[in-house]
Structure 1
Amino acid sequence: MPINIPKELPARQVLEKENIFVMDDERAHTQDIRPLNIVILNLMPDKEKTEGHLLRLLGNTPLQLNITFLKTVTYQPKNVNPSHMEDFYKTFAEIEERKFDGMIITGAPIEHLQFEDVQYWDELTEIMDWAEEHVTSIMHICWGAQAALYHHYGIDKFPLEEKCSGIFSHRIFNGEHNIELLRGFDDAFIAPHSRFTNISQAEVDAHPDIQMLAVSPEAGPFLMMSKDGKHIMATGHLEYDTVTLKEEYERDLNKGLSVRIPAHYFPNNDPDEQPLNYWRSHAHLLFSNWLNYYVYQATPYEWQ
């Protein structure tokens, strides 16, 4: 997939080294096809790493994408250069008149807060409500998935006794292989999780508008989808690269948090050993299936 991003975005150099097909505005304007417009609300603290995680996966299908990064105005991130946000991110006011084919709302390390206590909650709910009419399909990740379940469906999160961190095995729920989002998935697959809260599988199963797609015996519900395909909710992080859980574990320790070693992650459960990536292929499948079946084939050629 040729992915159209700003020419000076730092993630571009990383992606090009990995042979991910990126395209700048000059070349994109010579393409005589209709690109898909994707907006990413990046709530993660390390903006540049998250940009790389997501763009790596979005850049792996034969579609051309125009990427817009969205920031909040009610909260200013502390872990990124303000000039980066100024150069590469838009505010909601700058894009609210536009229509987008797809949207990604990332996670955020704020699970300890009630949703209404999050500084940018009112702004986020305004954006989520706007997306109902202005976006064809939205993918919500980790805390973003929990926020969507709460705001759209009234399903709240609950705290865990200890952090759910590691790579966990999942099974397709009730053999739902006919669901296009899961096309090509193995019966069992691995995905990373990193959070202090969870959601009730019973509440999701009981909701008439949500379909459970994949569950982990250890980590709980993972993939869910609204029955109209509008909302994809993933409580884990298939987009993470190999060392992300290691970096988060070290970050938590440096903060003085009492956290266990990420489960099933380090070889021999030894943090000094280099972890291996067992989830990369399913990460690419999830994003390419979403883009193909729920964005490209569902979005109108011309938004009215």
Structure 2
Amino acid sequence: MPLNIPAELPAVELLKTENIFVMDDRQASAQDIRPLRIVILNLMPLKITTETDLIRLLSNTPLQVEIDLLKASEHTPKNTPIEHMLAFYKDFDEIRDETYDGMIITGAPVELIAYEEVDYWKEIEVIFDWARSHVTSTLYICWAAQAGLYHFYGVPKYSLPKKMFGVFRHTVNDSQNPIFRGFDDEFYVPHSRHTEIRKEDILKVKDLTLLSESEESGVYIVMARGGREFFITGHSEYSPLTLDTEYRRDLGKGLPIDLPRNYYLDDDPGKGPIVKWRGHANLLFSNWLNYFVYQQTPYDIRDIR
């Protein structure tokens, strides 16, 4: 997929070294087509890493996509240079009157805090509500999935006795749903979280459909509004070394952390990870873009409302 993103964004040169076709905004302006407009609300602390991971997965279909990066205006990130934020990120007020074909809302390192005590919770609630009338389909990832299910449907989250950390086997509950086109009967997804949502709470809400789950890591994908919303508890977007980085970071800080499950060759960090999720991650994002964004969005994007 030719991605229309700022030429100076760090992800551009990195992804080109991976033979991923990234079209910067100067090239895209020469194409006489309407690109899909995707906005990414990036709540992760390492924003450049998260941008790169998501852009990598959005690059896998032949459609042109225009990316806007959004931040929570009431929160100042500590792990990303302010120059990067000023150059590439927008505040919500700058896009409030815009419409988008798709939206991705990332996880955030606030899962052990009550939703109402998160410093940008009020703004997040406004953005969640705005997305329902200004976006064709939205992916809520990890904490955002839990937060969205709580905000819209009252689904609670629960603290885990220890971190759900590793790469886990998942199954599909509805193989006819287009989001799973090309999926195997079993597939793997990374998880890294201290809280969970539970199957019994999802099944109580008639407007929610549990699409995928895992015996080890529980609920994975929940769909609402016919695919206008997907709530995804894992991190299919993770690059091969993300769990390794998290593991070594926590060890270095002296935090209680187990070896990530089903991740390292022979459970030996010195041998590196075995990547089991890359193929299905690409299918997940390309299926979402194709079947729930491109095929559902109106040609005049203003008609989303």
Fold match by TM threshold 0.5? yes
Greater displacement, 158-167 / 263-272: 263-272
Asked if 2 retains the 8 angstrom alpha-carbon contact of 1:158 and 1:199, the reply is: yes
Please give the root-mean-square deviation of Cα atoms over the aligned residues, in Å. 0.8
How many angstroms does 1:227 deviate by?
Answer: 4.0
Asked if 1 retains the 8 angstrom alpha-carbon contact of 2:166 and 2:262, the reply is: yes
Q: Distance in 1 between matches of 2:24 and 2:170?
A: 38
Asked if 2 retains the 8 angstrom alpha-carbon contact of 1:71 and 1:91, the reply is: yes
Greater displacement, 283-292 / 242-251: 242-251
How many angstroms does 1:87 deviate by?
Answer: 0.1
Asked if 2 retains the 8 angstrom alpha-carbon contact of 1:205 and 1:211, the reply is: yes
Secondary structure of the corresponding residue to residue 103 of structure 1: strand
Paired residue type of 2:289:
L
How many angstroms does 1:256 deviate by?
Answer: 2.4
Asked if 2 retains the 8 angstrom alpha-carbon contact of 1:181 and 1:293, the reply is: yes
Aligned match of 2:127? 127
Aligned match of 1:217? 215
Query: What is the correspondence of 1:88-237 to structure 2 with a 5 Å cutoff?
Result: 88-173=88-173, 176-237=174-235
Q: Distance in 2 between matches of 1:12 and 1:26?
A: 13
Q: Distance in 1 between matches of 2:80 and 2:176?
A: 42
Secondary structure of the corresponding residue to residue 225 of structure 1: strand
Paired residue type of 2:286:
S
Deviations 1:3-58 (A, max 9, x none): 01100001111111111111122211111111000000000110011011000000
Aligned match of 1:77? 77
Greater displacement, 226-235 / 128-137: 226-235
Structure 2 gap ranges (5+): none
Aligned match of 1:37? 37
Q: Distance in 2 between matches of 1:275 and 1:264?
A: 9
Aligned match of 1:21? 21
Paired residue type of 2:22:
V
Asked if 2 retains the 8 angstrom alpha-carbon contact of 1:146 and 1:199, the reply is: yes
Asked if 1 retains the 8 angstrom alpha-carbon contact of 2:41 and 2:71, the reply is: yes
Q: Distance in 2 between matches of 1:205 and 1:111?
A: 22
Paired residue type of 1:41:
L
Q: Distance in 1 between matches of 2:66 and 2:168?
A: 33
Asked if 1 retains the 8 angstrom alpha-carbon contact of 2:7 and 2:26, the reply is: no
Aligned match of 1:257? 255
Structure 1 gap ranges (5+): none
Secondary structure of the corresponding residue to residue 278 of structure 1: coil
Greater displacement, 252-261 / 90-99: 252-261
Secondary structure of the corresponding residue to residue 272 of structure 1: helix
How many angstroms does 1:266 deviate by?
Answer: 1.0
TM normalised by structure 1 equals: 0.98
Q: 2:264 aligns with which of 245, 263, 266?
A: 266
Asked if 2 retains the 8 angstrom alpha-carbon contact of 1:211 and 1:227, the reply is: no
Q: Distance in 2 between matches of 1:222 and 1:79?
A: 28
Q: Distance in 1 between matches of 2:158 and 2:106?
A: 19
Q: 1:276 aligns with which of 267, 274, 289?
A: 274
TM normalised by structure 2 equals: 0.97
Deviations 1:111-131 (A, max 9, x none): 110111111000111111111
Deviations 1:61-100 (A, max 9, x none): 0110000000111110000000000000000010111000
Secondary structure of the corresponding residue to residue 111 of structure 1: coil
Query: What is the correspondence of 1:48-67 to structure 2 with a 5 Å cutoff?
Result: 48-67=48-67
Q: Distance in 1 between matches of 2:132 and 2:222?
A: 17
Greater displacement, 113-122 / 245-254: 245-254
Q: Distance in 2 between matches of 1:43 and 1:252?
A: 20
